[in-house]
């Protein structure tokens, strides 16, 4: 492990003997690294029977890790799903206000997953889910360069020069937002539909920027994230990305990935009932074809 990757409070020699506990927990899809560090500080994590008090702790493959009294499962293969998030559900595992979460709407057959980034309560559309916390962190980081694409409905009539200026970035209440590409899709009465593309995806970025410009966002739909598209995925529907596709798009061959194809169940084609075709009429009740005598051709004049 390079010195730059060694956790704080650990020496280079120690760093070469294992990996940080928070990283292991994130890779298992249990939570993010930051969440893992908070859990550790709260005394919820044990390693080999010892309750940890700091995240600056290394573990190996032989370490017995217990979180909230439950053994930590192995990291397993990387897996990634596309999910069509509806409005009214929150992207978190636990909500103090008791609101329904994204993870409560998923099929019970799915393993524990974490989201790649977030969509707020009133936003909808494409949300990526994965079993690998490290993969989630990689895909949501701006340095990855993956664009987030949206359809946005605002109240008002945006001017072309306003939208063009966003391409240079904008600062709102001391927060700088990088280039935002926005183009008018159509004006519909007092509302306008826009196509918006982000590369950073900061918290509530689109809503804050357009509110700053004097436009209220009425609807926000994420249609694409990097190479993945919402397409015809129905609301609350989830489908898994093939392992080969995941490996190709993330460029990470260091971890195993599932090689199965799309997990979305395909409907079996309905059986066609025979109609009154020539062949149908020529069959006997038992199913055998009966011989049909051909009529002699009419005498030609």
Which residues belong to the active site?
120
Rg (CA), the chain: 28
Whether the CB-CB separation of 45 and 65 falls below 8 Å is answered with yes
d(CA 47, CA 264): 38
d(CA 285, CA 226): 59
d(CA 209, CA 176): 10
Backbone angles phi, psi at 243, to 5 degrees: -60, -40
d(CA 209, CA 172): 7
Backbone angles phi, psi at 211, to 5 degrees: -65, -35
Locate 91 and state its tokens. Answer: 């992207």
Whether the CB-CB separation of 49 and 68 falls below 8 Å is answered with no
d(CA 18, CA 139): 24
d(CA 299, CA 196): 76
Q: In sequence order, what DSSP letters do the residues of 50-117 get, joined into one string?
A: EE-S-S--EE-TT--EEETTEEPPP---B-EEEEEEPTT-BSSS--TT---BGGGSS-TTS---EEES
Ramachandran quadrant class, 96 (left: phi over 0; alpha: psi -120 to 50; beta: rest) = alpha
| Terminal-to-terminal C-alpha distance of the chain | 98
């Amino acid at each position: 492990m390079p010195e730059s990757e060694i956790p704080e409070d650990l020496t280079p020699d120690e760093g070469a003997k294992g990996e940080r506990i928070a990283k292991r927990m994130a890779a298992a899809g249990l939570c993010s690294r930051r969440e893992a560090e908070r859990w550790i500080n709260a005394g919820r994590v044990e390693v080999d029977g010892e309750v940890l008090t700091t995240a600056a702790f290394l573990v190996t493959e032989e370490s017995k890790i217990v979180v909230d009294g439950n053994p930590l499962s192995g990291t397993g293969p990387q897996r990634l799903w596309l999910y069509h998030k509806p409005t009214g559900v929150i992207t978190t595992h636990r909500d103090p206000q008791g609101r329904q979460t994204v993870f409560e709407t998923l099929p019970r057959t799915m393993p524990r997953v974490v989201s790649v980034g977030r969509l707020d309560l009133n936003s909808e559309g494409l949300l990526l889910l994965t079993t690998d916390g490290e993969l989630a962190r990689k895909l949501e980081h701006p340095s990855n360069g993956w664009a987030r694409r949206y359809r946005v409905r605002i109240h008002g009539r945006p001017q072309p020069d306003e939208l063009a200026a966003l391409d240079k970035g904008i600062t709102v209440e001391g927060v700088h937002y990088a280039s935002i590409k926005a183009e008018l899709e159509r004006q519909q009465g007092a509302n306008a539909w826009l196509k918006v593309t982000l590369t950073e995806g900061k918290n509530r970025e689109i809503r804050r920027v357009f509110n700053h410009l004097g436009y209220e966002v009425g609807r926000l739909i994420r249609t694409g994230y990097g190479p993945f598209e919402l397409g015809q995925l129905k609301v609350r529907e989830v489908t898994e990305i093939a392992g080969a596709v995941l490996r190709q798009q993330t460029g990470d061959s260091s971890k195993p990935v599932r090689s199965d194809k799309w997990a979305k169940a395909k409907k079996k084609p309905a059986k066609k009932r025979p109609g009154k075709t020539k062949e149908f009429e020529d069959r006997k009740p038992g199913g055998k074809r009966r011989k049909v005598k051909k009529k002699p051709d009419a005498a030609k004049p």
